Structure 1
Amino acid sequence: MAKRLNCPCGEYIEGEDEDDLVEKTQAHLSEKHPGHDYTREQILFLAY
């Protein structure tokens, strides 16, 4: 299962599972990159 993602800004995001990763990534995007909204599928596509 994909549980890690490297944001182009340099932030490393890791989740306990896919749901946690999506939640943490969406929170990061909301805080650091307002206006950049990604779907669950888009986030998981970028994750490894």
Structure 2
Amino acid sequence: MVKIYVDADGCPVKNEVERIATRHQIQTYLVCDGGIRPPLNPLIQ
């Protein structure tokens, strides 16, 4: 099973990653040092 980990602090393509992960049903984790607003998509944590 494929999982994607994204450095959410400095990644300029977070929206594109979320769109592609949703399209292909891939679990994705946004990792950051500070707080970010969690997306509503259940595949994105």
- Give the alignment's TM-score, normalised by structure 2: 0.35
- Give the alignment's TM-score, normalised by structure 1: 0.33
Structure richer in strand, relative to its length: 2
